[in-house]
Amino acid sequence: MNYAELVTAIEDTVENSFNADQVERFVQQAETLILNTVQIPALRKVDTGPLTINQRTYTLPVDFLYTYSLAIVNNGQTSFLLNKDVNFLSEAYPTVSGTGVPKHYAYYSETQLAFGPTPNAAFVLEHSYGHYPPSIAGSDKTATTTSWLGDNFSPALFNGSLVEAAKFLQEDPDVVASYEKAFVQAMQLLKNLTDGRLRQDAYRSGLYRQEAG
């Protein structure tokens, strides 16, 4: 489902037309709710590059939301760092000049992470983090713009947008409730996909089987 198809489906269902700003807001509000409820593959991103020798902090990417994992590559070996409070780093590594192979990291500020100890070499960083993927209703959209949700699980995006549209129109509570019910059902199926099937395989978990009736 691309953007134009989504808008048409919303307006046809609620039998009302909206201006561009209104329908964009419905869609983006639905996207924000979905992306903060389930972890779709499009949320994940990787930042790689060398650390700066003798520099304790690392500037986060501008689209950073949260960290999945943080690792450094030292002589071809990947080592994952442990997340700690910044006060732990100050106590465990009181001097910035104390260098070595980092073992811990902490959120130093809104835009920076700090390492302990301070890197003593230009280790390669592998930072897997969450970010908001491009919105199907973003500023650079066209009629044919789509997104991971639009391509792979449009029911959640569509029903979430319907809920927002119905609230905007101040529809009867039973109408809003029916849209919310459909949205909840779609979200459960999406969660089964993203938090279930995408995190297992047949070799480790076996094939899904249902008891014969």
pTM assigned to the model: 0.80
DSSP state of 99: E
pLDDT in tens, the chain (213 residues): 999 999 999 999 999 999 999 999 999 999 999 999 998 889 999 999 889 999 999 999 999 999 999 999 998 899 999 999 999 999 999 988 889 999 999 999 999 999 999 999 999 999 999 999 999 999 899 999 999 999 999 999 999 999 999 999 999 999 999 999 999 999 999 988 876 544 544 444 454 454 545
Both structure tokens of 144: 């044919």
Q: Provide the token pair at 178.
A: 């029916």
Q: What are phi and psi of 175, to 5 degrees?
A: -70, -45
Of 75, 131, 126, 122, whose CA–CA distance to 105 is shortest? 126
DSSP string, 143-195: TT---HHHHH-HHHHHHHHHHHHHHHTT--HHHHHHHHHHHHHHHHHHHHHHT
**pLDDT score recorded for residue 206:** 53
SS3 of 17, please?
Answer: coil
For residue 196, the model assigns a pLDDT of 52
From 110, 123, 8, select the one nearest 55 (Cα to Cα). Answer: 123
Task: Report the distance separating Cα 92 and Cα 133, nearest Å.
Answer: 37
Q: What is the pLDDT of residue 49?
A: 85
Residue 208: predicted pLDDT:
47
Helix (H, G, I), strand (E, B) or coil at 178: helix
